Chains A and B, each alone.
Chain A
Amino acid sequence: GAVVSQHPSRVICKSGTSVKIECRSLDFQATTMFWYRQFPKQSLMLMATSNEGSKATYEQGVEKDKFLINHASLTLSTLTVTSAHPEDSSFYICSGHKAGAGGYTFGSGTRLTVV
């Protein structure tokens, strides 16, 4: 089945630094990648949608200059949290969608802790 590999699984960074999270679709081409954020005991909240080769579309309230999304190839999308603050600490999850297939494949998530 379709697999999305997400790295790192856990990262701790200092306030003010930037962190990059990678998602790779291993056995399919993800024309669309979705990025979610999940706070403890809460649901997944969509942050942005990115189509390969295009600029990402951000949900209301999500700062595009703070959460940089790159989807330069059909198998790789990255989310960079810039100038991270403790309130950015969360569980970040990506989800890849293959054109025409109708299914979404989720990564295993990245636990970000900003200290």
Chain B
Amino acid sequence: GQQLNQSPQSMFIQEGEDVSMNCTSSSIFNTWLWYKQDPGEGPVLLIALYKAGELTSNGRLTAQFGITRKDSFLNISASIPSDVGIYFCAGQLTSGTASKLTFGTGTRLQVTL
């Protein structure tokens, strides 16, 4: 099945640093979602974006829905050890319905003290 391309694939950063990751698609999505997955757990929703160009924050997290509707980025400011995990973007074609999600390839984040 289709997957969205995420970059970077993995990153090691120091505590306190800012993190940026992005997600690109060859096709348009009408909703972009960002999830975090801890080892052995299911994904947990961080931010949902519903409009092209939309910029949304959730605490230290900020995400934007690309104007072309083919990309999105997620920023994490002042990283802390509990930010460690795998971050996935997901695109949904039809907002507000139970249409399937297409997941990105994931960005593995590791934070060193």
The residues of A with any CB-CB pair to B shorter than 8 Å are 4, 6, 9, 31-32, 34, 41-46, 49, 51, 59-60, 91, 93, 95, 97, 99-100, 102-104, 106-109, 111
Minimal beta-carbon separation of B37 from chain A (angstroms): 8
- Which 10 A-B pairs have CB atoms at the shortest separation, nearest pair first? A106-B42, A32-B98, A97-B98, A102-B96, A43-B103, A44-B103, A109-B42, A93-B42, A108-B42, A106-B43
Q: Contact between A43 and B3 (Cβ–Cβ < 8 Å)?
A: yes
Give how many B residues have a beta carbon under 8 Å from the other chain's beta carbons: 24
Q: Contact between A104 and B44 (Cβ–Cβ < 8 Å)?
A: no
7 residue pairs of the A-B complex, CB under 8 angstroms, read: A4-B42, A41-B108, A44-B103, A46-B100, A100-B96, A102-B96, A108-B42
- The answer, among B1, B101, B105, for a CB contact under 8 Å with A104, is B101
